[in-house]
A and B are shown apart, each in its own frame.
Chain A
Amino acid sequence: MNNVQKQKRANKSSLPFFLKEEFKVSFIIIFISTILLITTFTFDIVPPILNRGIQPATFPKALLVLIISLTLLVYYLSTKKPWKLEKKLPKTFYFTLLSFVLFVIISKTLDFFLAISLLSVFVSYSWGEKRIIYLLLVSIVFPIIVFIFFETILGLRFPPGIITNIYYQV
């Protein structure tokens, strides 16, 4: 077991620096922060008479510079002491992530209830649930209960869609 760990670490240390997770994570944080930092230069400037202490862009700028500096420090420290190895992500993770994308698309184009229902059955099935009765429970029965509960208790009106319109008799 110990040998396997050592082998993995050895393999990891032999990777070029730009393929290591420490670099990838630090790069993504710095890249996004830099884009946001550039955006702050497009913020409107307040005339001195209305300015309260500092310009609206100053505070976010300072935060982004702080994030970039600290990330560089984290990366520098990771070259001395590499991060612990993470397990490869399983297929079920990617299925769940894909279900989120489908949820966004369906909730925007077709129906909010349908999106929840399809996500539930998709996630439950891909996580290993094959029994029809349980799939029906998570995809239809439970979302209906939640919908009715939110509608009656909180007076919530859900966004229009092919199924919701039938419910609201639009």
Chain B
Amino acid sequence: MENLLLMMAPLFSSKLLIVLFFGTLFGLILGVLPGLGPTTGGALILPFTMTLDPLSAIVLLTSIYCAGTYGGAITAILINTPGTPAAAATCLDGYPLAQKGEAGRALGMATVSSTVGGIFSVIILVFFAPLLAKLAYEFGQPEYFALAIFGLTMLASIGEGSPIKNLIAGAFGILISTIGKDFMTSIDRFTYGINELSEGIGFIPVVVGLFAISEMLTQSTTLDQVFKRVALKAVKLPSLSDYKLTWKTILRSSGIGSFIGVLPAEGGTVASLIGYSEAKRFSKNPEEFGKGSIEGIAGAEAANNAATGGAMVPTLALGIPGSATTAVILTGLIIHGVRPGPDLFREQPEFLYGIFGAMLIANILFFIFGFFGAKIFARITLVPNKILWPMIFAVSVCGTYSLSQSIIDVWIMLLFGVIGFFMRRYGFSVVPVIIGLILGELVEGTLRQSLVIFDGNWLMFLSRPIVVTFFILSFIALIFPLLKKKK
């Protein structure tokens, strides 16, 4: 009861309501614009959050996350281009249905199923995050090391693309985290006499480079692409027969999305694909999938929004990001001096339940904005890339510079933009780099502290049951893609 009251706190704070309003609006705009999205948008907005108190800052980032994930569906349905990768499965049926003159119906179903999926996942978050945090009380350094390894292997196996390439990208991310002074001995590593590198490479230059700048380079290669937007009169609430047809799909996909979200991987994208394929498997009319099935839209959209709450579970309970966007949120927490993990649940419940409540409200807000404003948001896609991207560049440069007022950070951002472009071109996902960078210090720190505890005996890792469990799970995660391929 007390926690429920804490969750309601954002409703009674005009400041938080304003933050939620703008966060949702901004998230929707980011979600609608192909190439941008909640991860890049969150990274761009991080410097601005420094002017806010910690709760408002995280509320802003989470509302961008929830609304941005939904916003991708608008573009997927109206121009057959997913606004965010998580909306890729929505294109399959959303656009064909829109072409049949039922864009309003398609968007209505996407809006309702996204909202249900999002709210479902917040309920999962409220119940499971404290349980996971309680479990994490038992964790020592070796357990955290094994958990971080498990997170990285899961990311490699469940994430998009080749698992081996994902592992290379994850290792690259961890390697970046080793640049600068060694945090235990203060010995310089990979600094090459450059003073600015002694502090290490910041998260913002890397994330803005890998997402925003590499996307700018990608956009420079696709300028001949012409978007054809399907006309939209108004968003229609689903009819009773649509509800009857889809309620089971929405609930199933909400469960799938929440579960996939909890696993440390690129939650939304994978969740929507699984949600979509499961909707097809259980459907009485599977032949309609790909031709404008309303069940297909519901399956994909409920799952990708359900992954948002799921991905927040390990982020808040363990400090292990469940996706690229939650890695940005985790950075937001850290730069505001909030250390996620079990202690946060004990020491600052009002902070945590405030976030849960804000996510709940954000899901309701994007329903309202989406329902009444989809037509306006759809117009944003008409802003030509040749005007939009130079503007995004200006914001990226100033945002990156603002954090430590260092021009080197801007150059690092550009360098990672080029690296990110070529990584994506040759099938290396950039998400593991971000997660690796975030987890790098945890992996190395816990490994070294564990070895101190074990007096240098590596075999002692195997004497801890939780560590062994995580190692076995990591092994399964690594061989899972091979087994799947053989099948």
B-contact 0/1 string along A1-37, CB 8 Å cutoff: 0000000000000000000010001000100000010
Partner of A36 from the list B48, B190, B410 (CB cut-off 8 Å) is B190
A-contact 0/1 string along B435-450, CB 8 Å cutoff: 0000000001001111
Partner of A154 from the list B48, B384, B389, B417 (CB cut-off 8 Å) is B48
The answer to the question of B239 belonging to the interface, with a C-beta cut-off of 8 Å to chain A, is: no
B448 in contact with A52 (CB, 8 Å) = yes
Q: How many A-B residue pairs have CB under 8 A?
A: 160
The answer to the question of B277 belonging to the interface, with a C-beta cut-off of 8 Å to chain A, is: no
A59 in contact with B402 (CB, 8 Å) = no
Q: In the assembled complex, how far is the CB of residue A126 from the closest CB belonging to chain B, in whole angstroms? A: 8
CA distance A70 to B238 in the complex (A): 49
**Chain B interface, >50% SS class:** helix
Total count of chain A residues near the partner, CB < 8 A: 67
Given the contacts A70-B171, A138-B390, A60 and B184 also touching, CB distance less than 8 Å? no
B168 in contact with A67 (CB, 8 Å) = yes
CA distance A153 to B385 in the complex (A): 27
**Chain A interface, >50% SS class:** helix
| Chain A residues near B355 (CB-CB < 8 A) | none
A113-169 contacts to B, CB under 8 A, are 116, 119-121, 123-124, 127-129, 134, 137-139, 142-143, 146-147, 150, 153-154, 156-159
CA distance A36 to B397 in the complex (A): 28
A67 in contact with B182 (CB, 8 Å) = no
CA distance A90 to B219 in the complex (A): 11
B452 in contact with A74 (CB, 8 Å) = no
CA distance A138 to B418 in the complex (A): 22
CA distance A40 to B189 in the complex (A): 8
| Chain B residues near A25 (CB-CB < 8 A) | 426
B451 in contact with A54 (CB, 8 Å) = yes
B171 in contact with A29 (CB, 8 Å) = no
CA distance A137 to B451 in the complex (A): 58
Q: In the assembled complex, how far is the CB of residue B120 from the closest CB belonging to chain A, in whole angstroms? A: 37
CA distance A100 to B185 in the complex (A): 37
Of B1-9, B159-167, B334-342, the segment with at least 4 beta carbons within 8 Å of chain A is B159-167
CA distance A112 to B406 in the complex (A): 12
The answer to the question of B425 belonging to the interface, with a C-beta cut-off of 8 Å to chain A, is: yes
Of B172-180, B322-330, B365-373, the segment with at least 4 beta carbons within 8 Å of chain A is B172-180
Q: In the assembled complex, how far is the CB of residue A58 from the closest CB belonging to chain B, in whole angstroms? A: 9
| Chain B residues near A39 (CB-CB < 8 A) | 190
Partner of A123 from the list B174, B393, B399, B418 (CB cut-off 8 Å) is B393
- Which partner residue on chain A sits nearest B410 by CB separation? A107
The answer to the question of B276 belonging to the interface, with a C-beta cut-off of 8 Å to chain A, is: no
- Which partner residue on chain A sits nearest B384 by CB separation? A129
CA distance A100 to B162 in the complex (A): 30
Q: In the assembled complex, how far is the CB of residue A77 from the closest CB belonging to chain B, in whole angstroms? A: 7
B220 in contact with A53 (CB, 8 Å) = no
B418 in contact with A100 (CB, 8 Å) = yes
Most buried by B among A63, A83, A123: A63
The answer to the question of A170 belonging to the interface, with a C-beta cut-off of 8 Å to chain B, is: no
CA distance A147 to B48 in the complex (A): 13
A142 in contact with B393 (CB, 8 Å) = no
A46 in contact with B185 (CB, 8 Å) = yes
The answer to the question of B50 belonging to the interface, with a C-beta cut-off of 8 Å to chain A, is: yes
The answer to the question of B398 belonging to the interface, with a C-beta cut-off of 8 Å to chain A, is: yes
CA distance A167 to B411 in the complex (A): 24
In the A-B complex, the 3 residue pairs with the smallest Cβ-Cβ separation, listed nearest first, are A53-B451, A53-B448, A120-B390
Chosen A-B contacts, 7 in total, with CB atoms closer than 8 Å, are A39-B190, A44-B187, A53-B456, A54-B447, A71-B168, A97-B418, A150-B402
Using A73-B164, A74-B164, A116-B394 as known contacts, list a sample of 9 further A-B pairs with CB atoms less than 8 Å apart, ordered by residue number in A: A29-B168, A43-B187, A53-B452, A60-B175, A63-B178, A89-B221, A92-B221, A100-B414, A138-B387
